[in-house]
């Protein structure tokens, strides 16, 4: 028997996967007994905002993630495909039919029992034969949040998300932007930076001609004043009632900071002190700093630029920053209510808790971002909880698949500065011959990942699978992942 708390995208997928393994599941969903501030119905897997599951092509990371899920028998993907509405290259759904389809499938699943009640503690999570999956999402109820905080540590549970925009490295104009750390203080690991200034020289690296951990976009006074006026005039995204006007002073949106005074940003995230533009030999009037966001060095985030400006306006205003005129955005800035654990401090790549191996986290609370990512984590947590319940050893997928890369990210990213992430090719390591063209690179990575999914599935189903019938350890080291995962433990 498995207990799954939360019947959203992650919990519904987990229940489907576990029950398909022949394990009985009880799925606890608190709606309609206890509503959340954003859900409108009592259906399982309700989409709280957009009706889009984003891009559908495998050359896009979230498209690959979806395809991997389809191949692993995902309920969420099956119903999404069945309830699809026209949306160009994206997969968008009729939200009511989608939630209805998932609810009906689980209602009819013989091994799934749905209980409409709020779970307030983790008392059922001590038994390896009766694993528990916490999939209560970004709006986890307060009592259960307190229980999770007690388990993972108060410092490792967050309630808000302030997200800075991320741009594609190759869309940054390196003839304007310069590499430097404030006061020349680099991190000790600078030699290891892929394509980084210290390890490679100037023109050979596309104009990346300095040393330092940051890329810096220098602004003249006139450019800063124009940028400031555009920020103050920008339209914020519509707010849910739960998010109205409650900001932490430490992570104010840039437009809120700007409205406090014309020079506030210049003395805050855009301060130029300790930086000299090598092209002028002078300190710029203001600077926007970009920090490498992926180990591969293909994504950079705008430091301290969390914002609630509407995405269209955000792109227009951020492209006013010198060097970002042609920027391609991998992710826009956001601030929203979000309950999530510090994955690297709390989770294994199998989505098991480091503190209690019989306890899994899945979905947004596990530290992923997005509908598809939440459902994908539920898929693996469901399979692994079922494995544990059957006396087998939970496994992670190879890191070179999109699902495996997500598991690696939540369990290995920098715990000191953890931020939930969408899936991105920057999280999936390239191996072997790497094609030059981006589209070819992505297609090669996607084809390899899909091949590995097939192999992984075949190995799990093989009668001589080495992990089958392994006795579940009752104490001592946690029943973790396969050897292949232990061999891949570099930090993200
Ligand atoms: C306001 C908002 C808008 C978002 N918009 C988007 C978007 O447009 N696109 C996107 O990709 N992502 C979006 N997200 C992020 C995320 O993808 C969704 O929140 C997604 O639904 C997460 O899936 P989940 O399964 O983790 O959580 P949910 O889908 O929220 O499911 C969690 C379930 O757990 C239940 N629950 C909570 N506490 C308990 C308890 N103690 N006992 C029993 N049940 C409980 C809840 O009622 C809920 O049904 C948004 C998030 C928020 C907060």
Does the pLDDT at position 198 exceed 50? no
- Atom nearest to 12 CA in ligand 1: 25
Quick one: DSSP state of residue 205?
Answer: G
203-217 average pLDDT score: 60
Burial degree of 175 (CB within 10 A; 0-12, 13-18, 19+): exposed
Q: Whose CA is nearest to atom 38 of ligand 1?
A: 140
Q: What are the pLDDT digits (tens) for 432-486? A: 788 888 889 999 999 999 999 999 999 887 776 654 444 333 333 332 333 223 2
153-180 average pLDDT score: 87
Tell me the pLDDT band of 218, cut-offs 50, 70 and 90. very high
Place of tokens 């992990």: 467
Q: What percent of the chain has pLDDT over 70?
A: 85
Architecture of domain 2-160+338-486: 3-Layer(bba) Sandwich (3.50)
How many residues are present in the chain?
A: 492
- Atom nearest to 44 CA in ligand 1: 49
CA distance 361 to 366: 5
Tell me the pLDDT band of 419, cut-offs 50, 70 and 90. confident
Q: What percent of the chain has pLDDT over 90?
A: 62
State residue 174's pLDDT score.
96
Give me ligand 1 centre to Cα 425, in Å: 24
Tell me the pLDDT band of 175, cut-offs 50, 70 and 90. very high
Give me ligand 1 centre to Cα 298, in Å: 29
Does the pLDDT at position 210 exceed 50? yes
Q: Whose CA is nearest to atom 6 of ligand 1?
A: 49
Tell me the pLDDT band of 492, cut-offs 50, 70 and 90. very low
Does the pLDDT at position 418 exceed 90? no
Give me ligand 1 centre to Cα 355, in Å: 24
- Of the segments 124-128, 173-177, 299-303, which one has the largest average pLDDT value? 173-177
Give me ligand 1 centre to Cα 138, in Å: 5
State residue 476's pLDDT score.
31
Q: What contacts 449, CB < 8 A, 6 or more positions away?
A: 64, 68, 400, 401, 402, 428
State residue 412's pLDDT score.
95
Does the pLDDT at position 196 exceed 70? no
Domain residue limits, the chain: 2-160+338-486, 166-332
Burial degree of 282 (CB within 10 A; 0-12, 13-18, 19+): exposed
Place of tokens 């301060």: 271
Q: What are the pLDDT digits (tens) for 257-306? A: 999 999 999 999 999 999 999 999 999 999 999 988 766 788 888 988 98
Q: Detail the DSSP E strand segments found in 367-466.
A: none
Place of tokens 């437009």: 255
CB atoms within 10 A of CB 239: 13
Give me ligand 1 centre to Cα 103, in Å: 15
* 348 or 95: which leads in pLDDT: 348
Q: What are the pLDDT digits (tens) for 360-417? A: 999 999 999 899 999 999 999 999 999 999 999 999 999 999 999 999 999 999 888 7
Place of tokens 């897997």: 45
Rounded to two decimals, the pTM is 0.73
* 251 or 10: which leads in pLDDT: 10
CA distance 60 to 219: 33
Tell me the pLDDT band of 238, cut-offs 50, 70 and 90. low
Q: Which of 149, 371, 381 to mutate to test the pocket of ligand 1 (most atoms within 8 A of CB)?
A: 371
Nearest alpha-carbon partner for 490 in 345, 295, 341 = 295
Give me ligand 1 centre to Cα 269, in Å: 31
State residue 470's pLDDT score.
42
Which tokens go with 254?
A: 């840039």
State residue 297's pLDDT score.
80
Task: Provide residues with CB under 6 Å of ligand 1.
Answer: 5-11, 28-31, 36, 38-39, 48-50, 118-119, 135-141, 144, 240, 336-337, 363-365, 370-371, 374
Q: What contacts 333, CB < 8 A, 6 or more positions away?
A: 163, 164, 165, 253, 254, 302, 305, 306, 307, 308, 309, 314
Place of tokens 């020079």: 263
Q: Whose CA is nearest to atom 13 of ligand 1?
A: 370
* Mean pLDDT computed over every residue of the chain: 85
């Amino acid at each position: 028997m498995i207990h799954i708390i939360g019947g959203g995208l992650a919990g519904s997928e987990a229940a489907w996967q576990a029950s398909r393994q022949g394990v009985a599941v009880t799925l606890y969903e608190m709606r309609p007994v206890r509503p959340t501030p954003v859900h409108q119905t009592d259906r399982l897997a309700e989409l709280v905002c957009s009706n889009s599951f984003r891009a559908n092509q495998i050359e896009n990371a979230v498209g690959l993630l979806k395809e991997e899920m389809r191949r692993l028998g995902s309920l969420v993907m099956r119903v999404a495909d069945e309830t699809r509405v026209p949306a160009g290259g994206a997969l968008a759904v009729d939200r009511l039919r989608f939630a209805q389809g998932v609810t009906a499938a689980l209602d009819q699943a013989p091994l799934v029992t749905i209980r409409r009640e709020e779970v307030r503690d983790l008392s059922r999570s001590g038994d390896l034969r009766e694993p528990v999956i916490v999939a209560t999402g970004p709006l986890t109820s307060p009592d259960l949040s307190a229980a999770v905080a007690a388990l993972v540590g108060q410092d490792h549970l967050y309630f808000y998300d302030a997200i800075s925009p991320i741009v594609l490295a190759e869309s940054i104009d390196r003839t304007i932007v310069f590499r430097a750390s404030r006061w020349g203080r680099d991190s000790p690991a600078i030699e290891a930076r892929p394509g980084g200034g210290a390890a490679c020289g100037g023109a050979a690296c596309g104009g990346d001609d300095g040393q330092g951990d940051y890329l810096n976009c220098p602004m003249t006074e006139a450019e800063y004043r124009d940028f400031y006026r555009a920020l103050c005039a920008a339209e914020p995204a519509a707010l849910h009632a739960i998010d109205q006007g409650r900001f932490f002073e430490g992570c104010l949106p840039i437009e809120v900071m700007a409205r406090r005074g014309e020079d506030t940003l210049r003395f805050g995230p855009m301060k130029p002190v300790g930086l000299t533009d090598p092209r002028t030999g002078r300190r710029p009037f203001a600077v926007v700093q970009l920090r490498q966001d992926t180990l591969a060095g293909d994504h950079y985030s705008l430091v301290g630029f969390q914002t609630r400006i509407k995405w269209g306006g955000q792109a227009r205003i951020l492209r006013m920053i010198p060097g970002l005129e042609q920027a391609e955005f991998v992710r826009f800035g956001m601030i929203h209510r979000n309950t999530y654990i510090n994955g690297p401090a709390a989770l294994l790549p199998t989505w098991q808790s480091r503190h209690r191996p019989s306890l899994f986290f899945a979905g947004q609370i596990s530290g992923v971002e997005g509908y598809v990512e939440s459902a994908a984590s539920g898929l693996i947590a469901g399979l692994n909880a079922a494995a544990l319940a059957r006396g087998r050893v939970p496994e992670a997928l190879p890191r070179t698949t999109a699902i495996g890369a997500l598991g690696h990210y939540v369990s290995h990213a920098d715990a000191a500065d953890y931020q939930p992430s969408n899936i991105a090719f920057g999280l999936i390591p390239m191996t072997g011959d790497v094609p030059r063209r981006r589209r070819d690179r992505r297609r090669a990575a996607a084809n390899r990942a899909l091949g590995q999914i097939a192999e992984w599935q075949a190995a799990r189903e093989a009668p001589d699978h080495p992990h089958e019938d392994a006795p579940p350890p009752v104490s001592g080291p946690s029943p973790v992942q396969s050897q292949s995962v232990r061999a891949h433990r570099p930090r993200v």
